Structure 1
Amino acid sequence: MNGEAGVAQALDAGEKLGPGLLVLVVGPSGAGKDTLLAYARARLAERTDLRFARRRITRPADATENHIAVDERDFAQGVALGSFPLYWRANGLSYALGAEVAEDILAGCTVVANGSRAAVSEARRRFARVKTVHVTAPVEMLAARIAARGRESAQDVLARLKREPALDAPPDLTVLNVGTVETAGAALADFLGGLG
């Protein structure tokens, strides 16, 4: 496959991307998905068949997430050109996985991405193999974690927590992230390390 043009060509032909595996780590805002992903990435760094995706997000880069910032115009252009193997909107922002994710999947790798519960059904239409990990925590803990980011007002935090899209099927793993990063991170890393 040749970059973004190859992604668009495969998806336009109605082919599901494979043979690799896409693992979407989903759950409510404030559940700690990025923290657990960073832990698992460090612990599994020697695994050359396991890749951790950097999302494109229409939000400036900051210390809370290792993403690629894009503006709405470039995002819309990427969608129009078929550059993104998966994209969605949530919380007033646009999110996408880049062409490198499709290339890694086509090469037979396992790609782990911070996703959205609302995008899982579309992921299953686009990728031959998809697994989900649901990371969650009690509502009070979620609210405190979101507020600590300092990006949203208290009203925005409450609105964000009211949005709770359902998964289209039971997750392959549920992580209740209420203890130490090491405990929840190890559960995620052990799961990912057992995939092939």
Structure 2
Amino acid sequence: MSGEPADADGRLGPGLLVLVVGPSGAGKDTLIAYARERLAGRPGLCFARRRITRPTDATENHVSLDEATFARELAQGRFPLHWRANGLSYALGEEVAQDIASGLIVVANGSRAAVAEARTRFARVKVVHVTAPPEQLAARIAARGRESAEEVLARLAREPALDAPPDLRILNVDAVDAAGERLTAFLRSLA
């Protein structure tokens, strides 16, 4: 990641990273897709595609990497932010650092466990915390068909705490457009 503009503390900037975080099944990808559609073509705003060590499917817009490729790209410094969760490796790609260096607002599906690290790597970070009641989370995770019942329970048991209150909380319990409009309005206010 050398050569990227940084602030006095060496953090990536001057752009803004908006991390959308919350438990599995909260609807983060759905709300991000909703906002991406509503804000298409808006200057200064882009949406990141995570790298994940899981095959692609219809439930998430990500770049699939095997563990060896992920480890190699990590060792090469291609990820401005990475984390492990639920037995998988996740990362934001080097285009995120480039977009941040260009002064853009980058919206990314992140992890509560990676927020503190994001604040050390990026000069400007906003956090959106999306959640839902446990029974809704369990039903949504199970509906994806990717995990066994035991894996669903393990995802629900994972509760990393945020290092500070989020900039926006969304309780995603109603129709997608209700929570989606809250995220969209928040992102509009930043641009």
TM-score (norm. length: structure 2): 0.96
**In the alignment, does 2:21 pair up with 1:60?**
no
Is the contact between residue 46 and residue 107 of structure 2 (CA under 8 Å) also seen in structure 1?
yes
Q: Hey, what does 1:19 align to over in structure 2?
A: 14
Alpha-carbon shift at residue 155 of structure 1 (Å): 1.3
Is the contact between residue 4 and residue 98 of structure 2 (CA under 8 Å) also seen in structure 1?
no
**Would you identify which runs of 4 or more consecutive aligned residues in structure 1 move more than 2 Å?**
8-14
Q: Answer with 26-35 or 43-52: which moved more.
A: 43-52
Q: Hey, what does 2:107 align to over in structure 1?
A: 112
Q: Hey, what does 2:39 align to over in structure 1?
A: 44
**CA–CA separation in structure 1 for the residues paired with 2:66 and 2:3:** 24
**Identical residues among aligned pairs (%):** 72
Q: Which amino acid aligns with 2:148?
A: S
Q: Hey, what does 2:29 align to over in structure 1?
A: 34
Is the contact between residue 8 and residue 81 of structure 1 (CA under 8 Å) also seen in structure 2?
no
Residues 140 and 76 of structure 1, relative CA distance in 2, 3 Å threshold: same
2:41 counterpart SS class: coil
Is the contact between residue 16 and residue 128 of structure 1 (CA under 8 Å) also seen in structure 2?
yes
**CA–CA separation in structure 1 for the residues paired with 2:84 and 2:165:** 22
Alpha-carbon shift at residue 48 of structure 1 (Å): 2.1
Q: Hey, what does 1:174 align to over in structure 2?
A: 169
Residues 165 and 135 of structure 1, relative CA distance in 2, 3 Å threshold: same
2:36 counterpart SS class: helix
1:78 to 70, 73, 80: 73
Alpha-carbon shift at residue 39 of structure 1 (Å): 0.2
Residues 43 and 51 of structure 1, relative CA distance in 2, 3 Å threshold: same
Aligned residues: 190
Q: Which amino acid aligns with 1:190?
A: A
**CA–CA separation in structure 2 for the residues paired with 1:108 and 1:53:** 15
2:88 to 80, 85, 93: 93
**CA–CA separation in structure 1 for the residues paired with 2:141 and 2:42:** 32
Q: Hey, what does 1:4 align to over in structure 2?
A: none
Residues 11 and 109 of structure 1, relative CA distance in 2, 3 Å threshold: closer
| Unmatched tracts of structure 2, length 5 or more | none
